């Protein structure tokens, strides 16, 4: 492999970058444009004298680009691997571009001399067939190369779809979670409570509350504002811990559904003997 790369070093890299992307872009742009120009000249005789030489130069440069693209593609393939479809099409494109150049030159000289009309028409028909074939092949060469390079790197855009709301998630309107919804979560295994007009899911905290599980279960499905304030009196640590369980605000607007009973702390439970405990 090293020997192959050294023998084609001029068509391998340039300035530390692979030559192939530069050459293949020249081929897939210039070749179809030159082919289109040839097609126009076949149907518009009055432009032939002015533009036919330029068109043949374009076809000639396109042929050079396809050769460089083929050779540099092989060199790049030895480094990173080459897609089979792209490689196969690229190999065909060079002789196809040579053929189109030959057809263009043939038509150029025939139309300059007094030849039978059928010869000129036959040359024009062959040139048009070559134009269509080479242009189509050029498209697939460029597309297969782009697909091999980018298809796996760009995920197709998917329109996000709304996911159904889980039955365990809060039912919240524009103005918060209703008291009726909070009241449904009134057990130790499904415990919501309200403190200072905010709703908290305390289910996971029931068993770990420093003051005992009964302190929490007493406020499940209820308004625990008085119980919390009476036990902790606005202490910073319990307030911070409570905030980690917040679900959202309680719906308090006029017409909000349901009301909650006030909960009180069971006697002898949750005394603030342990500094920093939390409801």
Q: What is the pLDDT of residue 130?
A: 93
Together in a domain, 242 and 191 = yes
Together in a domain, 146 and 179 = no
CA distance 4 to 246: 67
Which DSSP letter does residue 253 get? S
Q: What is the pLDDT of residue 163?
A: 52
Q: What is the pLDDT of residue 77?
A: 64
265 contacts: CB under 8 Å, gap ≥ 6: 215, 218, 227, 230, 231
- Does some domain include residue 47? yes
DSSP 172-218: EETTEE-HHHHHH-EETTEEEEEETTEEEE-GGGTTT-TT-HHHHHT
- Does some domain include residue 85? yes
Hey, how many other C-beta atoms are within 10 angstroms of the C-beta on 94?
Answer: 19
Nearest to 245 by CA among 206, 187, 189: 206
Hey, how many other C-beta atoms are within 10 angstroms of the C-beta on 250?
Answer: 22
Q: What is the pLDDT of residue 255?
A: 46
pTM (two decimals)? 0.49
- Does some domain include residue 176? yes
Residue 152 Rama label (left phi>0; alpha psi -120 to 50; beta): alpha
CA distance 120 to 124: 6
When divided into structural domains, the chain yields a total of 2
CA distance 142 to 154: 17
Q: pLDDT tens digits for the chain (279 residues)?
A: 344 444 445 676 766 667 777 778 888 899 999 999 999 999 999 999 999 999 999 999 999 989 888 887 777 666 655 567 777 887 888 899 999 999 999 999 999 888 888 988 999 999 999 999 999 998 888 787 777 766 666 655 555 555 554 445 454 444 788 888 999 999 989 999 999 889 999 998 888 887 788 888 889 999 988 888 877 776 788 888 888 899 988 887 544 455 777 766 555 444 433 333 444
Together in a domain, 15 and 107 = yes
Nearest to 98 by CA among 53, 58, 57, 62: 62
Q: What is the pLDDT of residue 275?
A: 37
Together in a domain, 128 and 201 = no
Residues forming beta bridges with residue 178, ordered by sequence position: none
Together in a domain, 187 and 114 = no
């Amino acid at each position: 492999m090293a020997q192959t790369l050294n023998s084609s070093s001029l068509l391998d890299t340039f300035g530390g970058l692979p030559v192939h992307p530069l050459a293949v872009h020249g081929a897939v742009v210039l070749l179809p444009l030159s082919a289109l120009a040839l097609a126009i000249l076949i149907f518009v005789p009055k432009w032939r004298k002015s533009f036919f030489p330029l068109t043949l130069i374009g076809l000639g440069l396109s042929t050079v680009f396809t050769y460089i693209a083929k050779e540099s593609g092989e060199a790049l393939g030895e480094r990173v691997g080459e897609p089979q479809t792209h490689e196969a099409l690229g190999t065909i494109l060079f002789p196809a571009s040579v053929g189109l150049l030959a057809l263009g030159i043939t038509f150029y000289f025939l139309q300059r001399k007094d030849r039978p009309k059928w010869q000129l028409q036959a040359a024009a028909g062959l040139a048009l067939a070559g134009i269509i074939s080479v242009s189509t092949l050029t498209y697939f060469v460029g597309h297969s190369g782009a697909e091999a390079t980018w298809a796996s790197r760009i995920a197709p855009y998917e329109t996000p779809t709304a996911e159904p709301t889980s039955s365990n998630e809060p039912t919240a309107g524009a103005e918060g979670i209703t008291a009726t919804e909070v009241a449904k979560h009134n057990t130790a295994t499904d415990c919501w409570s309200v403190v200072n007009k905010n709703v908290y899911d305390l289910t996971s905290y029931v068993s770990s509350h420093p003051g005992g599980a009964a302190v929490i279960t007493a406020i499940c499905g209820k308004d625990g504002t008085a119980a919390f304030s009476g036990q902790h009196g606005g202490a910073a640590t319990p307030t911070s811990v409570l905030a980690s369980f917040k679900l959202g605000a309680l719906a308090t607007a006029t017409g909000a559904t349901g009301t909650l009973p006030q909960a009180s702390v069971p006697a002898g439970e949750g005394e603030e003997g342990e500094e920093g405990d939390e409801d």
